[in-house]
Structure 1
Amino acid sequence: MKILITGGNNAKALKLMKAFPSHFVLLADYGDVPGIITENYAFSSLGVLNKDSIAHILLNFCITEAIDCIIPLHHYELEPLAKSAVLFSEYGIQVLLPNADVIADYLTEEKVTYQNFVVFVHGDRIFSTEEGSIPANLSPKLNGVFGYNDADDLKLFTI
């Protein structure tokens, strides 16, 4: 599986790579990005940032790069991608975010540093930095990467 993580120039994106050891991870960001390619990961530029057409830029990039799953980390990408998830799925691309109708429950306006993060795919916990603190199965519709300091307060892991 080929996974795209946006915000690739940020250390948080690099932390997420350990959640996907058996997949190829493409770390991408807007503007200048280092040109590094290895067997397990690579860096790539998404081009010039245009917040008005984020979903279009990312869908085009995912199709061109044969991406199977996208994990958006920039705060301004979350809602447009959640609303466009059905379109992405028509191209066989999974958007790893909660549904658009509940995404606001997992957003925070303040900058918070999380000690831990957890990855859910269709409600199943596939990775956690702290085993046992988060149930292995939550709502079957829950998707995304969530940061937490308290297991009862999951927020999307963003930059």
Structure 2
Amino acid sequence: MKILITGGNHAKALKLMKAFPNHFVLLADYGDVPGIVTENYAFSSIGVLNKDSIAHVLLNFCITEGIDCLIPLHSYEVEPIAKSAVLFGEYGIQVLLPDASSIAEYLPDKQSTFQNFAVFVGGECVFASGKEIFVRTEEKLNGVFGYNVADDELKLFTI
């Protein structure tokens, strides 16, 4: 599986790589990005940032790069991508975000620093950096969520 993590120039994106050891990870960002390619990951530029057409730009990028799964980390990408998740799905691209109808409850109140993060796919926790076991009742919860201790309310892991 080929996974795109936006915000590739940020340390949070690099932390997320350890959640996907058996997949190829493309770390991408807007503007200048180092041109590094390895067997398990690469860095790439998405191009010039245009917040007005962010979903369109990312969909084109995903199609061009053969992306199977998109993890948007920039806070300005979250809502437009969540609203466009069905369109991404039509191209076989899974968007790891909560449904657009419930995304507001997972947005951090302010830019937060979390000690840990957990990755949920289809309601199942597939990775937790703090080694916790999460049992959630939310149906089909998708996304990367930050937390400090396991009992914390999960918030999207954004930059």
Query: Hey, what's the Cα distance between the residues in 2 that align with 1:38 and 1:85?
Result: 29
Q: Equivalent residue for 1:148?
A: 147
Q: CA deviation at 1:84?
A: 0.1
Distance in structure 1 (CA, Å) of the matches to 2:139 and 2:20 = 20
User: How many percent identity over aligned positions?
Assistant: 74
1:4-83 matched pairs, under 5 angstroms: 4-83=4-83
Pair 1:124 & 2:116 matched: no
Matched positions, count: 158
Q: TM-score when scaled to structure 1?
A: 0.96
Cα drift, residue 141 of structure 1: 1.7
- Following TM superposition, by how much is the alpha carbon of 1:130 offset from its aligned partner in structure 2, in angstroms? 1.6
CA deviations over 1:4-23 (Å, ceiling 9, x no partner): 00000000000000000000
Q: Which blocks of at least 5 consecutive residues in structure 2 are unaligned?
A: none
Would you say the 8 A contact 2:79–2:103 is kept in 1?
yes
**Residue identity opposite 2:115 in structure 1:** Q
Counterpart of 1:110 in structure 2 is 110
Counterpart amino acid of 2:148? N
Unaligned 5+ segments in structure 1 are: none
Provide the C-alpha distance between the structure 2 equivalents of 1:111 and 1:23, rounded to a whole number of angstroms: 28
CA drift at 1:108? 1.6
**Separation in 2 of the partners of 1:66 and 1:33?**
19
CA contact (8 A) 1:2 1:66 kept: yes
Which AA in structure 2 matches 1:124? E
SS of residue paired to 1:45: strand
> TM-score, normalised to structure 2's length?
0.96
Aligned-residue RMSD, C-alpha: 1.0
